Amino acid sequence: RVLVLEATPLQPPPLPVLRYDAAVAARRFFRDLRTHGSEQSSSGKLVLLGAANAGKTSLLRGMQRGKPRPTAEPDRTIQLELSALTIRRSDESCVHLSCWDFGGQHEAYAAVQQPYIVPGALYLLVVPADRASDEHRQEVLGQWLDMLQTRAPGAAVQLVLTRVDKLAGSGAVEEGEE
């Protein structure tokens, strides 16, 4: 028997799809794992999310340089800034992180950012202390947690409270004080 598909709306699948066979790829993966063993990865993805002017870029620059580095207004992240961070462990080995610092200025950015929110990353959700209230809950916390739940369910999320020094009577330690 012959099935003729001429003059039909069906299109042949793209060549990469024809080459992909999940069962074969899975067997190859486990065969290679058995043959070559496994190795712990020393790299990862760190994503900084949060509202506009929450301190994401300042936090990241502080972690990279080892001291606080407030970001000036003209240097704020507009859409996305990629950088690297190396963390030395106690055993002198290093963890290398690809850092994704997302801008938070416009709600339109959130739609563009969603494809980059994937499982497997560590998410720092940066919350400015001076806006950490019920009044600003959706802006500084809710929308980001909703996006993470939708795009990367079960993701590792660490809340980071910033701008504590902006709170009246916070007793925050000024630079140079102990």
pLDDT at 176: 46
pLDDT at 17: 41
Between the two ends of the chain, the Cα-to-Cα distance in Å is 86
Q: Which residue stretches of the chain are H helix?
A: 15-19, 22-36, 56-65, 107-113, 137, 143-151
pLDDT at 35: 86
pLDDT at 157: 92
Q: How far apart are CA 168 and CA 2, in angstroms?
A: 81
pLDDT at 104: 66
pLDDT at 96: 92
The pLDDT profile of the chain, 178 residues, written as one tens digit per residue, is 554 555 555 444 444 544 566 667 667 777 777 888 767 778 889 999 888 888 888 889 888 988 877 777 766 666 688 889 998 888 888 889 999 888 765 565 666 677 778 888 899 999 888 877 788 787 778 888 888 888 888 889 999 988 888 776 655 545 444 4
pLDDT at 123: 92
pLDDT in tens, 62-101: 889 888 777 777 666 666 888 899 988 888 888 899 998 8
Q: How far apart are CA 33 and CA 27, in angstroms?
A: 10
The pTM for the full model equals 0.68
Query: Which of these, 167, 171, 144, lies nearest to 47 by C-alpha position?
Result: 144
Place of tokens 């990469």: 16
pLDDT at 1: 58
